[in-house]
């Protein structure tokens, strides 16, 4: 049986994760929104058998080396899943990681890739999101090193129900 709503994440090294997780937790506490681990989604909304997906995850981990992403803007959108985030520059290394992951997971066609690191998932009005973006204590541009890739079950918009299925170092 295929599991719906699997996601493949790059996860930051420990120091960067701690800093970003603290920002996410602060925003969540102030606005009563979801707390979730800092990540950059390589592939979202996958549907595969769990064992096959874990096998594909391991193949991706073997292909990739730790990589860095440069975040140059804070953005917000009305959509819950792109509420408030750091926009990443889609450089060749990051794009190649996405393409390798898409190939290992057997995705066909040209899936969209707009790399970002979410800071908040919410349905707040855009004006409130803009105020939040202006109040962030993150200095941009920011470079983050990612040293793990993980597979998550992300059913729906309740991040409290999200579960990590597997994790591999790069």
**Range of lowest pLDDT (76-80, 141-145, 147-151):** 76-80
Name the residue among 114, 44, 50, 125 with its Cα closest to residue 86. 114
pLDDT at 158: 81
Average pLDDT, the chain: 91
pLDDT at 61: 98
Q: Any idea where the domains of the chain sit in the sequence?
A: 3-169
In the numeric block, which tokens belong to residue 126? 């855009």
Dist. CA 145–CA 10, nearest whole Å: 10
Rounded (5°) CA angle 100-53-70? 40
Q: What is the CATH number of domain 3-169?
A: 3.90.1140.10
Mean pLDDT over 43-55 rounds to: 90
pLDDT at 1: 55
In the numeric block, which tokens belong to residue 161? 């129900």
List the beta strands (DSSP E) in the chain: 3-12, 40-48, 67-76, 84-88, 116-120, 142-153, 163-169
Residue 38 pLDDT > 80, yes or no?
A: yes
pLDDT at 79: 86
pLDDT at 111: 81
The dihedrals phi and psi of 36, each to the nearest 5 degrees, come to -150, 160
pLDDT at 20: 96
pLDDT at 2: 64
Percent of the chain with pLDDT over 90: 65
Longest dimension (CA), the chain: 45
Residue 147 pLDDT > 80, yes or no?
A: yes
């Amino acid at each position: 049986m295929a599991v719906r709503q699997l996601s493949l994440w790059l996860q930051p090294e420990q120091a960067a994760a701690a800093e970003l997780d603290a920002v996410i937790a602060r925003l969540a506490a102030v606005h009563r929104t979801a707390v979730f681990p800092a990540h950059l989604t390589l592939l979202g909304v996958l549907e595969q058998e769990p064992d096959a997906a874990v096998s594909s995850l391991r193949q991706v981990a073997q292909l990739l080396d730790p990589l860095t992403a440069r975040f140059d803007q804070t953005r917000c959108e009305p959509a819950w899943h792109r509420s408030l985030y750091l926009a990443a520059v889609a450089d060749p290394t990051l794009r190649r990681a996405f393409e390798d992951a898409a190939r290992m997971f057997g995705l066909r066609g040209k899936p969209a890739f707009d790399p970002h690191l979410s800071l908040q998932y919410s349905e707040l009005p855009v004006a409130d999101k803009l105020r939040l973006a202006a109040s962030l204590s993150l200095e941009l541009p920011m470079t983050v090193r990612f040293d793990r890739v993980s597979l998550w079950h992300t059913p729906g918009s309740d991040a409290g129900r999200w579960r990590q299925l597997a994790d591999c170092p790069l």
